[in-house]
Structure 1
Amino acid sequence: METASLRWKRAALVLACAGALAACGGSGGIVEDVGGGDDHAHIETAGRLVVLEPGSAQVHVVDLDAGSVLQSYAADNAPSAVHASPDKRYALLVQATQGLIQFVDGGIYQEPHGDHMDDRKEPPRLLTTQLAGVRPSHYESHDELAAVFFDGSVDAGTNASFALLSDESIGTPGITLATQRLGSPMHGTAEPRGDWLLTTWKAPEAEGTSPTHVELYERHGDHFHQTKRFEQECPGLHGSYSNADYIAFGCRDGVLVVHQSGDEFTAQKIANPADMGEGVRISTIIGNEHMPSFVGIGSGGNLFEIDPLAGAIKRIDWAEGRVRRAHAIDAEGQNLLLLDDVGTLHILATSDWRKRAALPSVIASMPTAAPWPALAVSADDDKAWLSDPQGKRLHAIDIGGAALAGSVALNFSPGGMTWLGMATHEH
């Protein structure tokens, strides 16, 4: 049987040799459905990328096995962001201004078959079902669940809300597992934790649209009940992330960390370090299930380790004077990838934040304004993909080898993207 390493080398070779890709409107490309009567259907595949075309409603599905655009779709509006569903079968096309989310079925997934799972590889498709709400903003995924936070609108008098999703629910007409309306409009976030969910609350006297506190909700069928508001304040709350045991929220004056032990949730506030810098705060938080700590992202090139066990925030030194343009953490949580403002890709080991490599001029011509290049990481192999808007290319990155592994020419400028496929194979 072909190993993951051999599969990656095969895919990289295909892409390195690929010529210009032509977007197709039909169901072209090589598709495979090995369900049939097989006792245990198995597919070796590098997966697919769903790639946005900035400023356009066009969305492209790139098949990484064939090294070509397999399908292109016209969304209702130009998507502002794209995310993968928890089990990586679907892509969410977020259209924030229009209050709409559409879904692309990537066509690669696993389904139960007796005492095992069978692999499927089918044509991608744009689903007809959609999810509507006022100003969809933050999207967070944990285990097999995801939550979309809708900010609502002060002008329209619409309160914020959130919707709970799974891959199974996205494939049904109803789309959502549960929804909940909140008490006011705000630019918040929601973190699913099984039967529980943490979301934001805004004090009535607080100015602006930023939340000030975190609340705990318990799911009851298709809706939620609020059970607790943590007393610790989190002024200017923005950004959140969940790992195995902790949930972190970015605050103007530090990070609020909630620890889950079974059905018990306790919170602690970690203050900003003295060397945070004038006007710097953590506003984006990323991480991985396999990592005990989080990465906090501030403005410019400011990066910090958030260690919930030590109750400390420490600066990560990665590239003096450089500004971050794209970031990602690999599927195993072992490597942090950072693209800087001159097109160099830095790879840091998350165990000690040591820089493993710096790949210069991966992006030969950096844009002078957003949208910037984007990184997408495979959940099935040791690889990542980097979009090159001005070069009209996708660059393959061998993360373990810390090296470029091919480049694919496109006939459009790629922007944001996400990887879809089977996160794990059942052998």
Structure 2
Amino acid sequence: MKPVWMPAAAAALALALSANASAEEMTAWRLFIADQESARVIVLDAIAGEPVETFEVESPAALYRSESGRVVFARQGEAGLVTAISSGISFDDHGDHGDIDVEAPKLTGTEIAGDKPSHFVEHDGVFAAFFDGEGVARIVSEKAVLEGGSQFREVKTDVPHHGVAVAYGSHVLLSEPNRENPDELPVGIRVVDEAGAQVGDVHACPDLHGEASSGDILAFACATGLLVVTHEGGMPQIRHLPYADSLPDGKSTTLAGGRGLQYFLGNYGADEVVLIDPMESDAFRLIELPTRRVHFAVDPIRARFAYVFTEDGQLHQVDVIKGGIANSLGLTGPYSMDGHWSDPRPRIAVAGDNIYVTDPLNGVVHSVAAASFQKAGEIAVEGKPYNIVAVGGSGEAHEGEEAHDDHDHAHDHDADQIYKGYFEDDQIRERALSDWEGDWQSVYPYLQDGTLDPVMEHKAQTGDKTAAEYEAYYEVGYKTDVERIVIDGDTVTFFNNGQPLRARYASDGYEILTYKKGNRGVRFIFEKTEGDEAAPQYIQFSDHKIAPADADHYHLYWGDDRAALLEEVTNWPTYYPSSLSAEDIVDEMMAH
């Protein structure tokens, strides 16, 4: 049944009233859908199945969502424009819970203009739009986009070509054009610094097309394999992963990065896809499809699964762990892959408990229940619904701006007290290893090279030690030979002089410690279940938080004796995200 249209403000109000006005759990999911023929982006409430808003743009668009879900970008190739839309859904982390704010979606005011916009890539909250007709990448942060900013950093290549750029910390990874024939695909990746100067040699990647991130790894698809990019020592490290000899002739030209599990899903030939784990010796697993592939997407919520739609109208559930098709569901009529590449064909997005598939020839969006993999319904959409992205999630909703402000102040006070080690036992909650997921760097080298001297001086201004005494204190506290730690799912990798030790860990509860000053701390403990023999049997996290929340930094204790580790209170190796620069870490430390 076709839904009744309502103004955006009314839709937002209806959504808000679906939750109790007090602080109660609220779930909101929105689908952003671009029409295949008309220059418009339609926003649907995925839960109610009702329209929220329609945005008129300049030409039919391809859609991209930011990692945070706060922004959706409409890339309009014919119009030479990328338009930013605020999704209206955002989350605020309060340590023991997350708040959800739901507002009407709106244009942010940010537009990125240029000749032939093509690849649009986000990395760590920074977006790079590449314009083929100019050979130029225009780069902007999510923060600037949400503020309606129109100032962009530009990075230029030598000639116009169908290229790509990725902002990678203080560097940019930039496609190298085929100089003999710029109309052909790029031949490699070069690294440039903040001044735009090339760093090192060009990394060969013939017929470069397709890129994605998964965990701490970025990958580019080439005719010969993948370029795999990791972050080490403040520089992107790039290696070539050749296709396995066991694979048939072919290549990937589109990649999707796994969430929760670190892997890539790529096309490979017309009727196959390939699962790629760059950290395994047997990195490639080929999956045959019953007919030619139309579209595929990973499940960001149920990490084990991905989905492939084929031209016979079937949606297939791929089990990433087993490396095969787990379920198939007939969903639409046939969509032949013959014809133009931009002909209207189904696209996939995942929102909460459902998978959504556009059906442009029939003007509907199909909903499939992820748990049962059965049809859950459909939403009628005028025109030819084509590209689709989903944003949303669950959190606590609060009544009124004034009440929300009071709540924020109360939580600021509570969080400050908890950070200092004053809390009640009933405030503590079990935590999962995912709270510390990511790529982390030790701060010990920064203490040794003098980078943290301003921090020591800052502490001395209000503390009971001199700057030199603080430095000696932290010399003992921060000391470690593990310069980097990567946490992905239940796997922890320790790097000592670049050499990895890897193991899997499971929760072993938590312990409360009382310190001499009378304040307390909580150690969240994980025990090794399998992995390298030399990897520690136990790891214990302390990050000044006592309930589920993403860590911004942490102190880590490790060893083979659980009880003995709890006695260690003088050496606490400390880790901050590897994406932070030395200056960022200094700023973070001085803020506490």
Instruction: Give the C-alpha shift of residue 345 in structure 1.
Output: 0.9
Aligned partner of 1:339 among 309, 332, 335: 309
2:141 to 145, 165, 176: 165
- Percent identity, aligned pairs only, is 24
- Counterpart residue number, 2:253: 283
Comparing 90-99 with 181-190, greater Cα deviation is found at 181-190
Q: Which runs of 5+ in 2 are unaligned?
A: 397-547, 550-592
Higher relative contact order (CA 8 A, sep 6+): 1
Q: Deviations over 1:65-120 (max 9, x none)?
A: 322112122212222x0111231122211111221011222211135789976421
Question: In the alignment, what sits opposite 2:570?
Answer: none
What is the match of residue 248 of structure 1? 219
Inter-partner Cα distance in structure 2 for 1:401 and 1:197: 43
Distance 1:182 1:41 in 2: 51
Listed one character per residue, the Cα deviations across residues 239-287 of structure 1 (whole Å, up to 9, x for unaligned) are: 1112223221111222222232342433222223345444x22111111
Comparing 140-149 and 323-332, the one that deviates more: 140-149
Corresponding residue for residue 289 of structure 2: 319
Query: Do 1:33 and 1:122's aligned partners in 2 also have CA atoms closer than 8 Å?
Result: no
State whether residues 367 and 389 of structure 1, in contact with CA within 8 Å, keep that contact through their aligned partners in structure 2.
Answer: no
Which among 65, 70, 86 is matched to residue 105 of structure 1? 86
Secondary structure of 2:144's counterpart equals helix
Q: CA 1:409 to 1:206, structure 2 compared with 1: closer, same or farther past 3 Å?
A: closer
- Relative to structure 1, the CA distance from residue 109 to residue 311 in structure 2 (aligned partners, 3 Å threshold; closer, same or farther) is same
What SS does the aligned partner of 1:342 have?
Answer: coil
The answer to whether the 8 A contact 2:108-2:145 is kept is no
TM-superposition CA deviations, 1:106-137 (whole Å, max 9, x none):
21113578997642111222344321122111
CA RMSD across the alignment: 3.1
CA displacement at 1:47 relative to structure 2: 1.1
Q: Which has more helix, going by share of residues?
A: 2
Q: Distance in 2 between matches of 1:338 and 1:226?
A: 41
Q: Structure 1 stretches of 5 or more lacking a match? A: 1-18
- The structure 1 residue matched to 2:373, chosen from 393, 402, 410, is 402
> 1:2-401 to 2 correspondence within 5 Å?
19-23=1-5, 27-31=9-13, 44-79=26-61, 81-111=62-92, 118-151=99-132, 153=133, 158-166=134-142, 168-175=143-150, 178-202=153-177, 204-205=179-180, 207-219=182-194, 225-278=196-249, 280-310=250-280, 312-320=282-290, 322-332=291-301, 333-360=303-330, 362-366=331-335, 370-378=343-351, 381-401=352-372
SS in 2 for 1:327: strand
Partner of 1:417: 388
| Cα distance in 1 between the residues matched to 2:45 and 2:358 | 15
In structure 2, relative to structure 1, the CA distance for the partners of 1:41 and 1:105 (3 Å cut) is: farther
Q: Cα offset for 1:212?
A: 1.5
Shift of 1:397: 2.0
Amino acid at match of 1:78: P
Query: 8 Å contact 1:245–1:261 — kept in the other structure?
Result: no
Q: CA–CA distance in 2 between the matches of 1:325 and 1:282?
A: 14
8 Å contact from structure 1 (residues 252, 281) kept in 2: yes
The count of corresponding residues between Structure 1 and Structure 2 is 391
CA contact (8 A) 1:240 1:285 kept: yes
- For the residue of structure 2 that corresponds to 1:303, the secondary structure is strand
Structure 1 residue 330: deviation in Å?
0.5
Rounded Cα–Cα distance in structure 1 between residues aligned with 2:358 and 2:366: 6
Quote the Cα distance in structure 1 between the aligned partners of 2:200 and 2:21.
51
Amino acid in the other structure paired with 1:377: V
- Deviation larger for 60-69 or 362-371: 362-371
CA contact (8 A) 1:327 1:336 kept: yes
The answer to whether the Cα contact below 8 Å between 1:376 and 1:418 also exists between their aligned partners in 2 is yes
User: CA–CA distance in 2 between the matches of 1:312 and 1:203?
Assistant: 31
Contact 1:160 1:183 (8 Å CA) reproduced: no
Change in Cα spacing, 1:117 to 1:305, as seen in structure 2 (3 Å) is closer
Structure 1 position 414, deviation (Å): 1.2
Closer, same or farther: CA 76–239 of 1 in aligned 2, 3 Å: same
Q: Deviations over 1:309-363 (max 9, x none)?
A: 235553422424x111121101143211001111111101111213221112x11
TM-score (normalised: structure 1): 0.81
CA contact (8 A) 2:26 2:394 kept: no
- Deviation per CA, 1:166-208, whole angstroms, max 9, x where unpaired? 1x22112325663323332221222333444322122534553
Paired residue type of 2:271: G
SS of corresponding position for 1:29: helix
Distance between the aligned counterparts of 2:125 and 2:23, measured in 1? 23
- Rg (Cα) greater in structure: 2
